[in-house]
């Protein structure tokens, strides 16, 4: 039985995107990869699974990423975390492209993705504590170790 649906956005063919999609599926989640504008993404089969989170995996800042953040925020039900990869944007910068900044939780991974690796959780200044907790739960369910940094922390 699925633990819920998870929306994912990122560059097509990206190693992290493919790894996360596989880990979500193996962990009992129902991943749905949202395609960049003008490209085909995952088919959207009817799913009764509730949406539990979304991931923004774009490694660069740019128009496609900003559109993806807005699309993830729009599709995500209230109270669910939007996890934004913090390689090129901080959680606060990512949140500025959404309507609900309180749900945006930054995260960083280092190295080649693998089970047991460390995921740093980087809440924004306006991130809700409940969103951080739910993000940590999803990351842990994927087999990642987590360390939560203070709100507003950034990575170079």
Where does 4-148 sit in CATH, by number?
A: 3.40.50.720
pLDDT tens by residue, 15-52: 999 999 999 999 999 999 997 654 555 555 545 568 99
What Cα–Cα distance (Å) separates residue 41 from each residue in 33, 44, 65?
Answer: 6, 9, 15
**DSSP code at position 4:** E
Contact 90, 97 (CB under 8 A): no
pTM more than 0.95: no
**Comparing C-alpha atoms, which of 73, 76, 36 is closest to residue 52?**
76
First to last CA, the chain: 39
Contact 55, 144 (CB under 8 A): no
- Residue ranges of the domains in the chain? 4-148
What Cα–Cα distance (Å) separates residue 124 from each residue in 17, 21, 94?
Answer: 23, 25, 9
pLDDT tens by residue, 72-108: 999 999 989 999 999 889 999 999 999 999 999 999 9
What Cα–Cα distance (Å) separates residue 122 from each residue in 12, 48, 57, 111?
Answer: 25, 31, 14, 17
pLDDT tens by residue, 69-78: 999 999 999 9
Contact 16, 23 (CB under 8 A): no
């Amino acid at each position: 039985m699925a633990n819920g649906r998870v929306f994912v956005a990122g560059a097509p063919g990206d190693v992290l995107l493919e790894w996360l999609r596989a880990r979500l599926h193996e962990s009992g989640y129902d991943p749905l990869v949202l395609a960049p504008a003008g490209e085909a993404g995952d088919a959207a089969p009817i799913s009764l699974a509730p949406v539990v989170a979304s991931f923004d995996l774009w490694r660069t800042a740019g128009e496609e990423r900003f559109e993806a953040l807005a699309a993830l925020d729009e599709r995500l039900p209230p109270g669910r975390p939007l996890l934004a990869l913090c390689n090129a944007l901080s959680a606060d910068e990512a949140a500025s492209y959404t309507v609900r900044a309180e749900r945006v939780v930054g995260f960083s991974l280092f190295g080649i993705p693998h089970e047991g690796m460390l995921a740093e959780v980087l809440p924004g200044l306006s991130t809700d504590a409940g969103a951080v907790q739910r993000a940590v739960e999803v990351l842990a369910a994927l087999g990642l170790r987590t360390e939560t940094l203070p709100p507003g922390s950034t990575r170079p």
